[in-house]
Amino acid sequence: MFKKHYDRMRPGATPERVLAIARMIRQKPMGQMEVAKLCELRDDVSALSEGIRYTLAAAEELGLIENREGKYHFVAEDQAVASPSGFRRYVSPRVLSKGDTTFFKTTEWFVSSNKAVLPLNTFATVAAEIVKSGLSHVDENDVLGWRFWIRFLGLGYQYEKTLIPNLCIRLQDAMHNIPVGTEMSGTEFLTWLKTNVPEAASSCTQAGLCLAVSNGLRTLHDLGKIQIASANDAEKVYLYPLPGVRRNDFSAILVKEALWDELD
């Protein structure tokens, strides 16, 4: 799912399944068949299903578990699986900082595609556009698996089969250690973004942020988490323009509220 270079992103390994299996193994080391029996709630399991096999592999790739002499052991901090939001914050920096994976490159394509993704209302057409971008091995089944994770990681929303770019949750997680009251200029934010949200780095410049980041900033502003301000005499960064939207540029961002609670 998250390995380097060519890798399949099969739908069996959903975030919910990876979290559930990691929590099971945290209780005690388990072999494959013990995991399978607990997942399927029956004892007459004779073989590992594809979904469980992919889920175990994804949990290993994320550094949650490792196989030692035929048994899986939980090897991450307990906080990594204490809550779905904590799990999300554990996963994001691990999978969105490796630029040489199929998962990252597919996500980078999505973030940079702006409004071009909105008419793609089947996963087959999404896969076809990804192939055109140069990821020739990605197919519809990969898109089915990948979309579970981009939704979970806060990179966008899904309406029916249309994926809508919005990095609200992703930005909120990435900004978690910025103290309340901190103000960044537009250019400082851009520098911060390129380091902390690498999947958006190639599609964001001072002349224009991508739709996904722009939607995320507008959403956080409307929620009262941040304030995007634009001063006439200051250097501006331009949001992705949307008809009928008043706010299309900013010169500073102020963090107004704690962007997440350590206990949630």
pLDDT in tens, 108-146: 999 999 999 999 999 999 999 999 999 999 999 999 999
Of the residues 131, 164, 197, the one at which a domain ends? 164
DSSP 37-96: HHHHT-S---S--HHHHHHHHHHHHTTSEEEETTEEEE-S-GGGGSSHHHHHHHHHHHHS
| 203 and 245 fall within a common domain | yes
In-domain check, residue 249: yes
Q: List the domain range (segments joined by +) for residue 191.
A: 171-255
263 pLDDT tier (thresholds 50, 70, 90): very low
pLDDT bin (cut points 50, 70, 90) of residue 261 is low
pTM of the model: 0.92
- Whether 74 and 102 map to the same domain: the answer is no
For the cut 80, the answer to whether the pLDDT of residue 43 exceeds it is no
For residue 245, the model assigns a pLDDT of 84
CATH of the domain at 31: 1.10.10.10
Residues 191 and 242 in one domain: yes
- Evaluate whether 104 touches 96 at the Cβ level (below 8 Å): yes
- Mean pLDDT computed over 12-19: 96
Mean pLDDT calculated for residue range 188-204? 96
Backbone angles phi, psi at 201, to 5 degrees: -60, -45
If asked whether residues 206 and 248 sit together in one domain, one would say yes
Q: Are residues 229 and 216 in the same domain?
A: yes
Mean pLDDT calculated for residue range 10-27: 95
**Whole-number average pLDDT of the chain:** 92
- Based on the fold, state whether residues 76 and 114 are members of the same structural domain: no
Residue 68 confidence (pLDDT) above 50: yes
Q: Are 65 and 75 in contact (CB under 8 A)?
A: yes
Q: Is residue 260 part of a domain?
A: no
pLDDT computed for residue 234 by the predictor = 87
Query: Could you tell me if 137 and 113 lie in one domain?
Result: yes
* Statement to judge: residues 88 and 160 lie in one domain: yes
Flag whether 262 is in a domain.
no
The number of distinct structural domains making up the chain is: 3
- Mean pLDDT of the 90-119 span: 95
Regarding whether 94 and 137 lie in a shared domain, the answer is yes
